[in-house]
């Protein structure tokens, strides 16, 4: 197995990944039993890339987790201090939080768009997994989610994977 290095082109990986996908009879079939076109998968992956460009990418949500809300319960607090504490907690609870998305959450969000669905999402996952498997030489199950959460992974790594996935889908996916 090899480590993926930044800057290395995914172009040489597309053909090897398409061979892996061709070995599965259900590659382009969603859980509904219907075929998903390469164009639909490419559009899904392009949408994921757009979401990550717009909202930002985070390796995992634990990167931004806090220890929670600190609630003082000092009996000597004045009513004014208590109200300030309640207001601070309310602001914390209703705040938007970190707008960045993980690859997993962006994939899920894209599947809820007007032109995508859970079938397209699942086939897009297969495409990404095949690319990573072809690139790393991994054997057995390979997960794009686990790959995207590895320490040291960058936004550029994710963007390159998504672009390669869209290219693979356009080049090798069914047209109807």
- Rounded to whole angstroms, the Cα distance separating 80 from 74 reads 13
Q: What is the pLDDT of residue 76?
A: 78
Alpha helices by DSSP H, 23-78: 38-55
Sequence length of the chain is: 176
E strand map for 26-150: none
Q: Residues 98-110: pLDDT tens digits?
A: 788 999 999 999 9
Per-residue pLDDT tens over the stretch 23-70 = 888 999 999 999 999 999 999 999 999 999 999 999 886 644 444 555
Which 8-state DSSP code applies to residue 148? H
Q: Is this prediction's pTM over 0.75?
A: yes
Lowest mean pLDDT among 15-24, 76-85, 86-95: 86-95
């Amino acid at each position: 197995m090899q480590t993926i290095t930044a800057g290395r082109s995914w172009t040489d990986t597309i053909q090897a990944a398409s061979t892996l996908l061709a070995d599965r009879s259900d590659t382009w079939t969603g859980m509904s039993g219907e075929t998903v076109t390469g164009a639909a998968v490419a559009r899904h992956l392009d949408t994921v890339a757009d979401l990550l460009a717009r909202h930002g990418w985070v390796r995992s949500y634990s990167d931004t987790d806090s220890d929670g809300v600190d609630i003082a319960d000092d009996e000597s607090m004045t009513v004014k201090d208590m109200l300030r504490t309640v207001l601070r907690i309310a602001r914390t609870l209703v705040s938007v939080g970190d707008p960045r998305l993980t690859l997993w959450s962006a994939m899920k969000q894209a599947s809820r768009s007007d032109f995508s669905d859970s079938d397209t999402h699942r086939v897009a996952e297969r495409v990404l997994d095949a690319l990573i498997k072809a690139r790393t030489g991994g054997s057995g199950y390979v997960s794009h989610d686990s790959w995207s959460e590895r320490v040291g992974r960058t936004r550029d790594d994710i963007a390159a994977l998504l672009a390669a996935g869209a290219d693979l889908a356009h080049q090798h996916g069914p047209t109807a």
